[in-house]
Amino acid sequence: MKSGFVAILGRPNVGKSTLLNALTGEKVAIVTAKPQTTRNRIVGVVEVPAHKGLHPAAQIVFVDTPGVHKPASQLDRRMLHEVHEALASRDLVLVLMDVTRRIGLGDASAENPKGKAPNWSSEDEFLLSLIRSLDCPAFLVLTKIDLVRKDQLLPLIESLSKQHGFAAVIPVSARGRDGLDILLRKIVDVLPRGQRYFPKDQFTDQPVRFMVAELIRESILIETGEEVPYAAAVVIERFEEPEGNPRPGGRKPLSRIHAAIYCERTGQKAILIGKAGSKLKAIGSGARRKIESLLGTRVYLELHVIVEPGWRESKAFIESLDWRNQLDRLAEKQAAQHDE
């Protein structure tokens, strides 16, 4: 069989998470209309069965990255670090471009004076600069093709093909699943032979606690506007799974979850809570329905808001949000309790 890691790269809000969810058939990544929804590397695993005469069986490990943009804060720099981490261990890169948006490209490939950094004039040039030094194939994936006429695609493909030696150019519509089978087949063609990285029935490496926190953050992004969504972070403080097995025909077991929503200013806290707690209730209700679908249980969800001034510029706080670090701290806490 074949197996390998495929990094998904793109500017904010080009449909990376929507594509990942469509490919895996699961809600692996949260999706909203707001840019910079994805803050971490999100892994989605796809099993591709063998097709006689076309390709062998394969396991594709997709790595969805935060939207590529010029960093302006410590949080932005952390997100860009996540992008570089994904590019450090990959067999193929998918570069996503939204065909409904104007794509800004200047003379990005021009030589720069020795020792001087490129002066990128657009986010698209900045994105392409990340792949020009890679030694692996890159596919150009044009997203949202269901929203434009086909005769508009050809000039765009011609223009973008001049920017890099893409191994393939594949137009897709994640919502309509148009082009996804072709994309998977072409990915399998370039992957090396190898063994599975994950069990056959596993579709992500994310722990449930992190997925729950992301669903709460998704609800915040949907329910609030202006800068509040970007100044909000979610930490699961307590996660109590049901004990024992449910009785046949009885009510579903109950999961109890307590989470903190962090923001930067008192005014943002007021917006998150809303008049008489109405906004926090709406956030909780929207998140609870999604969490119940994820867990297959009833959910008691308790939320509270904490002001952490300037957390987006705090490297230590941002590091604490990484689910890998959270798992390490949880393991240390459990070990300490066991020793007692």
Q: What is the pLDDT of residue 247?
A: 63
Q: What is the mean pLDDT of residues 45-65?
A: 91
Residue 197 resides in a domain: no
Question: At residue 331, does pLDDT exceed 50?
Answer: yes
CB count in 10 Å sphere of residue 328: 11
Report residue 202's pLDDT band, with 50, 70 and 90 as the boundaries: very high
Report residue 105's pLDDT band, with 50, 70 and 90 as the boundaries: low
Least confident of 163-177, 282-296, 300-314: 163-177
Least confident of 146-155, 245-254, 301-310, 311-320: 245-254
Q: What is the pLDDT of residue 246?
A: 62
Residue 279 resides in a domain: yes
The token duo for 305 is 């808001």
Torsion 181-184-190-191 (CA) sign? negative
Q: What is the pLDDT of residue 121?
A: 47
Q: What is the pLDDT of residue 236?
A: 94
Task: Using the structure block, give the residue that is written with the tokens 């929507």.
Answer: 18
Q: What is the pLDDT of residue 321?
A: 86
Least confident of 13-22, 47-56, 247-256: 247-256
Q: What is the mean pLDDT of residues 156-162?
A: 86
272 vs 229 pLDDT, higher one = 272
Residue 305 resides in a domain: yes
Residue 184 resides in a domain: yes
Which percentage of the chain shows pLDDT scores above 90?
50
159 vs 138 pLDDT, higher one = 138
Q: What is the pLDDT of residue 288?
A: 97
- 143 and 214 co-located in one domain: no
The CATH number covering residue 50 comes to 3.40.50.300
Q: What is the pLDDT of residue 82?
A: 86
- 138 and 218 co-located in one domain: no
Question: At residue 41, does pLDDT exceed 50?
Answer: yes
- 179 and 35 co-located in one domain: yes
Q: How many domains does the chain have?
A: 2
Question: At residue 136, does pLDDT exceed 50?
Answer: yes
Question: At residue 199, does pLDDT exceed 80?
Answer: yes
For the chain, the average pLDDT equals 86
Residue 195 resides in a domain: no
Residue 26 resides in a domain: yes
Question: At residue 338, does pLDDT exceed 70?
Answer: no
Question: At residue 116, does pLDDT exceed 50?
Answer: no
Each as own residue / partner, the long-range contacts of residues 240-245 (CB below 8 Å, 24 or more positions apart, any chain) are: 242/297
Residue 44 resides in a domain: yes
Range of the domain at 316: 208-244+252-339
